[in-house]
């Protein structure tokens, strides 16, 4: 499985695009989150919405869903298709009612199903998205009252939604077979709604070796060499995990 971060930036980053990823297995390309900067960033990566097979959403913040309106409209008006949207069941209603409805509705097109082929996912269930690609949703702590789901792909690759620090969770994941962790990282403490670098640096070194940092601010380069055994994911680079 290959992963390319179309962006690695935090919500306010300007040097880096929104923390959205493209996961690829033979015959299938999955976009993970679709933030405000995604349409332009995808274009700059010489890719188009039409080549994606589906999008998977972690939670409802602009840097993760703000590009979905353009995705839906481009697919409808440029390609005559309805994109496949994988999303936790609990997020379907808030995504439509609180984020997309205002921009997308027109004439007879009044429901999320008019724009997306919605595939509802349940937490804790192993879902096969395509032969060679499974995902399990894990609800992780981010903002009180807003559901947020991290992902375990192919039972060994953990991709954090925006989440608070939890050493216990990371240790449990590794015990259960996870060998690579892409984790959001706020460079400056306190993390509040994200794990911050100081917290992640308290992880034991063998665990740090499995951790790659993403969702970082514009000053990331100042921290190179100061992340213990953890490494920064580089925007647009392709990793095999």
**Which residues are near Zn ion by CB under 5 A?**
11, 61, 63, 162
Residue 241 found at the interface with ligand L45E5XJ5 (CB under 6 A): no
Q: How far is the CB of 197 from ligand L45E5XJ5 (least distance, A)?
A: 15
**196-207 core/surface letters (b: 16 or more CB in 10 A; e: else):** bbebbeebeeeb
- By beta-carbon proximity to ligand L45E5XJ5, the closer residue of 63 and 69 is 63
Q: What does the alpha-carbon distance between residue 22 and residue 80 come to, in Å, rounded to a whole number?
A: 22
Q: What does the alpha-carbon distance between residue 214 and residue 223 come to, in Å, rounded to a whole number?
A: 13
Integer distance in angstroms from the first to the last C-alpha of the chain?
6
Residue 63 found at the interface with ligand L45E5XJ5 (CB under 6 A): yes
Residue 224 found at the interface with ligand L45E5XJ5 (CB under 6 A): no
- By beta-carbon proximity to ligand L45E5XJ5, the closer residue of 68 and 193 is 193
Restricted to residues 134-173, the positions that interact with ligand L45E5XJ5 (CB under 6 A) are: 143, 162
Q: How far is the CB of 193 from ligand L45E5XJ5 (least distance, A)?
A: 4
208 CB neighbour count, 10 Å cutoff: 18
Q: What does the alpha-carbon distance between residue 160 and residue 170 come to, in Å, rounded to a whole number?
A: 10
By Cβ distance, which residue is nearest to Zn ion?
162
Q: Among residues 14, 49, 12, 17, which one has the least CA distance to residue 234?
A: 17
Residue 183 found at the interface with ligand L45E5XJ5 (CB under 6 A): no
Tell me which residues touch ligand L45E5XJ5 (CB under 6 A).
Answer: 10-11, 61, 63, 143, 162, 192-193
């Amino acid at each position: 499985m290959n992963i390319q971060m179309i962006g690695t930036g935090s919500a306010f980053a300007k040097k880096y695009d929104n923390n959205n990823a493209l996961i690829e297995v033979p015959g299938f390309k999955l976009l993970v989150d679709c933030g405000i900067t995604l349409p332009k960033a995808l274009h700059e990566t010489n890719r188009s919405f039409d080549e994606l097979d589906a999008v998977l959403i972690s939670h409802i913040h602009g840097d993760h869903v703000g590009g979905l309106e353009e995705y839906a409209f481009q697919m409808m008006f440029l390609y005559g298709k309805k994109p496949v949207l994988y999303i936790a069941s609990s997020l379907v209603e808030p995504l439509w009612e609180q984020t997309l409805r205002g921009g997308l509705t027109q004439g007879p097109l009044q429901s999320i199903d008019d724009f997306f082929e919605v595939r509802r996912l349940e937490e804790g269930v192993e879902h096969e998205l395509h032969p060679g690609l499974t995902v399990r949703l894990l609800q992780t702590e981010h903002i009180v009252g807003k559901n947020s789901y991290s992902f375990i792909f192919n039972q060994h690759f953990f991709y954090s939604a925006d989440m608070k620090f939890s050493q216990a969770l990371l240790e449990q994941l590794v015990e259960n077979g996870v060998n690579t962790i892409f984790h959001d990282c706020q460079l400056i403490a306190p993390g509040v709604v994200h794990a911050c670098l100081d917290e992640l640096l308290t992880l034991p070194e063998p665990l740090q070796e499995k951790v790659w940092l993403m969702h970082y601010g514009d000053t990331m380069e100042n921290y190179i060499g100061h992340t213990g055994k953890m490494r920064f994911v580089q925007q647009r680079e392709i990793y095999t995990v």
